[in-house]
């Protein structure tokens, strides 16, 4: 717990420093990379990725690349991420270093996007980002984190008028995590001026509502032949098989958050800056889509990851409309979200905190595998 308190205190300290203070990036960067990037066997998905990393370390290049289609089917992961994981296993050798590099890439992408939006205090923006995403995105979903980093670069380039380069990064992201394609689609729909593009956006939203009402299992049983098998299996798993123990209070919290994001972004659609207007419109559309697909927990959670990042950047951009009010509403919500995460049934996945460097220096034994077994027991009994 002390590590998390130190992380927020260091972020607050760095956020309050003057931009030209040379210690500002050092305080933020070293603290964030050490605590978050070099976490050790804490969170939910680390075991899957570290075990995969271990397997790839013992695999030859010919064995991996000669059977890449088998690797995709066996690991049920996107091909570009598997290639990245394999090459990292061969060059970096230690999973935690790969994890730290990936997290550093994510942090850099947020700064890149922030500079493209306007005069943003990006370090301050990491306060709500950590509050909402520390245990979900930053500690657990490695593929999603890398894919969102690619999307941030794509969006930053797009805002800067470099559309062709933007398309390249937007195209790469789904090959790390397929669900990131939705962010690129909504981005380019947001940019479209033709009536037909807006109609397609509306049609997509209606399709999500239909899936909520009918259920993807029923749709798949009648129209399964139109979907690629890998995609159909993945969507069916996340919509029909994988279950979450969300309470009514958690669902109500999500609704309030998305409504707050809609109100905040709507206010800034009239901003004088075209970049801020665009990002605000993007947040508006993503929030509406999250509410439209509310019955699919995976969809609304994936929407949350990016909406939190975009809203956080907007809240700490100079000249933003409704900025103080948004902070007064969303930061307390983030504090509540973080506090509840520390008291949930699965909070043992994060507390006590473990650090790779510390465990290597002291030689302590990690209880990561015991925690993983407890998580599996909970999942099996749901």
> Which of 47-61, 145-159, 198-212, 293-307 has the least mean pLDDT?
198-212
pLDDT of residue 216: 46
pLDDT of residue 237: 47
What are the pLDDT digits (tens) for 55-77?
Answer: 999 999 999 999 888 888 888 88
Radius of gyration over every alpha carbon of the chain, rounded to an integer in angstroms: 21
> pLDDT: is 346 or 13 the higher one?
13
Distance, CA of 327 to CA of 83 (rounded, Å): 40
Distance, CA of 377 to CA of 382 (rounded, Å): 9
How would residue 195 be classed by pLDDT, with cut points 50, 70 and 90?
low
- pLDDT for residue 381 is more than 50: yes
pLDDT of residue 155: 96
Three-class DSSP category at 382: coil
Is the pTM value of this prediction over 0.95? no
| Percentage of residues in the chain having pLDDT higher than 90 | 56
| Residue 116 belongs to domain spanning | 2-381
Compute how many other C-beta atoms are within 10 angstroms of the C-beta atom of residue 330. 22
> Which of 144-158, 231-245, 291-305 has the least mean pLDDT?
231-245
Compute how many other C-beta atoms are within 10 angstroms of the C-beta atom of residue 70. 11
User: In this structure, what DSSP letter does residue 348 have?
Assistant: G
How would residue 213 be classed by pLDDT, with cut points 50, 70 and 90?
very low
| Main-chain phi, psi angles of 355, to 5 degrees | -125, 135
Question: Which residues face 171 on adjacent strands?
Answer: none
How would residue 321 be classed by pLDDT, with cut points 50, 70 and 90?
confident
**End-to-end CA, the chain:** 28
- pLDDT for residue 222 is more than 70: no
- DSSP annotation string for 132-196: HHIIIIITT-HHHHHHHHHHHHHHHHHHTT-HHHHHHHHHHGGGT-GGGHHHHHHHHHHH--SHH
| Main-chain phi, psi angles of 76, to 5 degrees | 55, 45
Count up the domains in the chain and report the number.
1
85, 281, 76: which is closest to 178 by C-alpha?
76
- pLDDT for residue 223 is more than 80: no
How would residue 215 be classed by pLDDT, with cut points 50, 70 and 90?
very low
Average pLDDT over all residues of the chain: 86
């Amino acid at each position: 717990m002390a590590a998390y308190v130190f992380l927020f205190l260091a972020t607050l300290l760095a956020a309050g420093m003057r931009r030209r203070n040379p210690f500002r990036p050092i305080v933020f960067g070293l603290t964030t990379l050490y605590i978050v990037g070099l976490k050790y066997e804490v969170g939910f998905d680390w075991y899957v990725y570290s075990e995969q990393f271990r397997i790839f370390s013992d695999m030859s290049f010919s064995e991996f690349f000669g059977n890449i289609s088998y690797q995709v089917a066996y690991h049920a992961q996107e091909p570009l991420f598997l290639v990245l994981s394999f090459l990292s296993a061969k060059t970096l050798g230690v999973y935690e270093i790969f994890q730290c590099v990936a997290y550093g890439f994510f942090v850099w992408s947020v700064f890149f996007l922030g500079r493209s939006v306007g005069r943003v205090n990006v370090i301050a923006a990491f306060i709500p980002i950590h509050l909402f995403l520390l245990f979900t995105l930053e500690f657990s979903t490695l593929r999603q984190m890398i894919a969102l980093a690619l999307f941030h670069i794509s969006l930053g380039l797009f805002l800067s008028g470099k559309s062709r380069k933007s398309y390249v990064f937007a195209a790469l992201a789904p090959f790390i995590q397929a669900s990131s394609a939705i962010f690129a689609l909504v981005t380019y729909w947001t940019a479209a001026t033709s009536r037909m593009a807006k109609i397609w956006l509306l049609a997509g939203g209606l399709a999500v509502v239909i899936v909520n009402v009918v259920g993807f299992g029923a749709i798949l049983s009648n129209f399964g032949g139109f979907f690629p098998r890998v995609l159909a299996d993945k969507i069916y798993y996340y919509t029909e098989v994988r279950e979450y123990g969300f309470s009514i209070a958690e669902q109500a919290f999500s609704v309030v958050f998305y409504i707050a994001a809609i109100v905040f972004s709507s206010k800034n659609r009239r901003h004088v800056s075209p970049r801020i207007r665009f990002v605000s419109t993007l947040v508006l559309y993503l929030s509406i889509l999250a509410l439209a697909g509310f019955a699919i927990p995976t969809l609304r959670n994936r929407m949350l990851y990016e909406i939190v990042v975009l809203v956080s950047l907007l809240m700490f951009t100079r000249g933003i409309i409704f900025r103080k009010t948004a902070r007064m509403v969303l930061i307390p919500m983030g504090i509540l979200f973080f506090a509840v995460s520390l008291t949930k049934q699965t909070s043992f996945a994060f507390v006590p905190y473990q650090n790779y460097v510390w465990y290597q220096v002291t030689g302590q034994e990690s209880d990561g595998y015991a925690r993983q077994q407890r998580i599996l027991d909970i999942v099996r009994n749901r």
